[in-house]
Amino acid sequence: MRPRPSRTLRALVVGWVLLLASRRAAWAQTGAVVEGAIELIAPIGARSLGMGQAAVASGFGSDGLWWNPALIARGPREVALHIARSPANVTESDASAAVVFPIHRLGAVAFSFRYLNLGSFEPTLDPNSPEATAVNTSAVFAASFGAPFGDRLSAGITVKLFRSMTSCTGGNCDLPSNDPTTGALDLGAQYFLTKDSAFTLGAAAQNIGLRLQVNDAPQADQIPSRIQVGIAAAPKFSQLPKEARVRGEFDIVARPSGVGGLGYRMGGEASWQGRYQGRVGYVVHGPTGSGPTFGAGFSTGKLQIDFAQMLSDFGSQAGSQPTYLSLRYIF
C-alpha cells in the first residue's frame, strides 16, 4: 500500500531532525568548525536573490534547483544561465548553467554546472623565490531528481561533485599536489498546504557529505552543511485586479554544527499578467552578509529574464554589491 503524503512528509522531517542532532553531537566533541568549499553555499538565481534569498518553499524550476531539489518535480522543461558578481571582485567570474527534463508520471531530472574564478594570488612569501602567479578556480557538477507524491508532496535529491583547482605560472609554487575534491548531497521536500497551492512548506538539507581534504586527512575541513525550512504564501485578494499576483516567503537557515546562529531570509514578489515582476527582500546572516535586496523580471512566455542586487553590509564595506542576472528558457 502506498504511504500517505502526510506520513511521508513526517518521516522526512523526523529524519532531518535526527541527522541534525547526530551531527551536532559529533562536532561538539571536536570544538569549532572550520568550513571548506564555501562556494557550495554562494547564492545563485536572480529571482531568488531579489526575494531576499527566500526560495526553499517557492523557487521555480532551475532557479529553485540550487535551494531545494524538490522544486523541479512539477516544473517545465527548461534551460538556464545564471551570472553573478560578488562584492569587490571576490570572484572574478561566477557562472552556472542548468537544464531540466520532466519525465512523464515520474517527476524531473536536472543537470547543472557552476564555475567560479576566485582570482589570482602570490603562492609563496619567500622573497628570494622568482615571482609567481597562481589562479584559483572552483567547479561544481550536480545531478538532481525530483518526484511528486500525490497532489501535494514533492521530494528531491541532488548529488554534487566539488573540485578546487589551482594553476601556477612563474617561479616556485607552494601548492597542493592534487586538486581538492569532495562530494555532497542535497535533500529536499515541498508540501502544498492547500489544494490551490496558495500556501506551501519547504525544507532542505544542503551539502551533506565528506570533508574537503587540502593537505592531509587530519586537516580536512567540514563542508558548509545547512538545514533550511520555509513557508510561502500566494494568496488571492479580491481587491486586486485579476492580472495581479503577489507572493511572499520566509525561511530559517541553521548550521548543523550549531556555530554562527540562525539565518533568516524573507521576501515578496508582485507580478502583472505573468509578464512583469518586482521583488524585494531582506537577508539576515546570509553567505554574502545581511541587508535588503531588490529585483525585477520580465517574461515573454518562454524566455524569463531576471535581475537582482543585494545591498549587503559586507558589500558596503568592500565597495561593491552582489549583483545577479538570470536567463531561463522554457522549451
User: Model confidence at 180, in pLDDT bands (50, 70, 90)?
Assistant: confident
Task: Provide CB contacts within 8 A for 267, sequence distance 6+.
Answer: 50, 51, 52, 53, 54, 248, 249, 279, 280, 281, 282, 293
For 228-244, write each residue's pLDDT tens digit.
999 999 998 888 999 99
What does pTM read for this prediction? Answer: 0.83
- pLDDT value, residue 1: 43
All domains of the chain in start order, with CATH? 5-330 (2.40.160.40)
- pLDDT value, residue 324: 93
pLDDT average, residue stretch 208-227:
80
Task: Provide CB contacts within 8 A for 136, sequence distance 6+.
Answer: 117, 118, 119, 120, 121, 164, 165, 166
pLDDT at 30 over 90: no
DSSP letter for each residue of 13-48: HHHHHHHHHHHHHHHHTT-S--B--GGGGS---HHH
Least confident of 63-67, 156-160, 214-218: 214-218
